Amino acid sequence: MEKKTILVVDDELKIRILLKDFLEREGFIIIESPDGKHALDTFQNSGKNIDLILLDVMLPEYDGWTVCREIRKVSQVPIIMLTARSEDFDEVHGFEIGADDYVKKPVKPTALIARINAFFRRIDNGKTENKILAHGGLEINDAAHTVKVENEEIILSPKEYALLLFLVEHKGRIISREQLLNLVWGYEYYGSLRTVDTHINRLRIKLGKKGDAITTIRGFGYRFEG
């Protein structure tokens, strides 16, 4: 398997060293950035070779929110936010601007590595499947990992794509928020159920007129009606 490259962005040297040591032992290639400006410059120069970003929220120069927003303008590379703060607002805000996952400090390296590996497995498994799902103007090409609405391609984050694919694959079935959280984020994720709601809302907006196909079942979850 080709080695994956991870960009670690944190202003604390000891945290970068800790993550670098653990991740390199797991076979990953690590690039480091000590601040937001350096991270954006690094991504601009090496973005095509970066497979995932570990991004601290509190950074010099540009904070993690700014870095995430700027990267999302040009790329859907997976982004895992790191923060020492505990406010729910941070988590919701991170997902609203395009983050794919959220880890609170102090980071437990073994748990983080498990989540990263699960992330890459989901991405790699998606690349090996060759199927196209089409429903009334919505087309999902799971081999190419693309989504089109009325023949116009829309850009989704990995989590948004995974949510949409699962809902469409189970068209007509009510899927609980707990199921979606476990299936898309994994059983090791302990975030709020609002994480699912935030991603569904963003997904509806991106789908435009097809967004109404995802209906809310009050008090339970969601259903794709096509």
Strand 146-149 and strand 152-154: the pairing is: antiparallel
CA distance 203 to 100: 13
Q: Element (H or E) spanning 32, and its range?
A: strand 29-33
Residue pLDDT, tens place only, 38-55: 999 999 988 778 999 999
Neighbouring C-beta atoms of residue 185, cutoff 10 Å: 23
> CA triplet 201, 182, 87: central angle to 5 degrees?
60
CA distance 223 to 28: 38
> CA triplet 214, 215, 218: central angle to 5 degrees?
145
Residue pLDDT, tens place only, 137-172: 899 887 777 899 988 999 888 888 889 988 988 888
Neighbouring C-beta atoms of residue 61, cutoff 10 Å: 14
Q: Where do we find the tokens 């060759």?
A: 130
Buried/exposed 20-42: b ≥16 CB within 10 Å, e otherwise: bebbeeeebebbbbbbbebbbeb
CA distance 135 to 27: 40
Q: Element (H or E) spanning 114, and its range?
A: helix 109-128
CA distance 212 to 192: 24
pLDDT band for position 130 (cuts 50, 70, 90):
low
94-106 average pLDDT score: 80
Residue pLDDT, tens place only, 185-204: 765 555 677 888 999 999 99
